Structure 1
Amino acid sequence: MQYNAQIPDVDPLILGAQAPSPGGNQMFCLKKWNAVAMWSWDMECNRCTISWVQVMDACLRCQAKNEQEDCVVVWGECNPSFHNHCMSLWGKQDSHHPLCQQDWVVQRIAK
């Protein structure tokens, strides 16, 4: 997994400084820093094309049963993503991919 974080270059003397010295040229003192990060799936479409629920959220079945931890995402060979539960229900009716109509083959699975 790859993480891309851009952390600003900060002078370590500024981070460790206690109090500005009188007559010094230090403008401020950084006492605490809380880093916040956001993440998202690296994909073009972020919705399950069967249920139209965002892939980062649980599918409708898992939301109804309050089982968000068990919901996984599957990708087909042509790269659109689906909730595994949505695709398993689709597969009971039709063994072809919902968009390109090729035979459904799982390329990868992720949580």
Structure 2
Amino acid sequence: MSTPSNSAGTPMEEDSASVQKQKTSNPTETRPFVLKKWNALATWAWDVECDTCAICRVHLMEECLRCQSEPNSECCVVWGDCNHSFHHCCMTQWIRQNNRCPLCQKDWVVSRTSK
């Protein structure tokens, strides 16, 4: 086994401090990339089978058509005992004509509402 030599032909001595300095002088050699900034993104959805209001056909996470046209209105979601969900404004109008769920035709009984 031969020892490394310099241009003069004399053996080179490498001490552990110089090797450590070489390793830490260029950190990108050991790591393929450095994470400088990270932005987290989270999404959520209602726990329902169908996330669209069957009455107005607008996504439940958005305001219904009536609330979109009226400023400062709060549109919430209402669930029935049948576990179908609708915009509260849409279901209020529906109940005036028919007291049954628009999807399954069971008697409409409110089980919970969102805020």
2:114 maps to what in 1?
Answer: 110
Aligned with 1:22 (options 25, 28, 31): 25
Structure 2: distance between partners of 1:81 and 1:49: 8
**Structure 1 counterpart of 2:80, one-letter code:** G
Runs (5+) with no aligned partner, structure 2 = 1-22
**Structure 2 counterpart of 1:46, one-letter code:** D
Deviations 1:29-73 (A, max 9, x none): 2121111222222221111111111111101110011345x1000
Matches within 5 A, 1:45-60: 45-60=50-65
Q: Secondary structure at the match of 1:82?
A: strand
Structure 1 residue 23: Cα displacement: 5.6
Structure 2: distance between partners of 1:36 and 1:100: 36
Aligned with 1:101 (options 93, 101, 105): 105
Contact 2:82 2:106 in 1 (8 A): no
**Structure 1 counterpart of 2:85, one-letter code:** S
Structure 1: distance between partners of 2:91 and 2:26: 68
1:64 maps to what in 2?
Answer: 69
RMSD (Å) for aligned C-alpha atoms: 1.9
Structure 2: distance between partners of 1:90 and 1:83: 11
Contact 2:81 2:109 in 1 (8 A): yes
Structure 1 residue 99: Cα displacement: 2.1
| TM-score of the superposed pair, with normalisation by structure 1 | 0.72
| TM-score of the superposed pair, with normalisation by structure 2 | 0.69
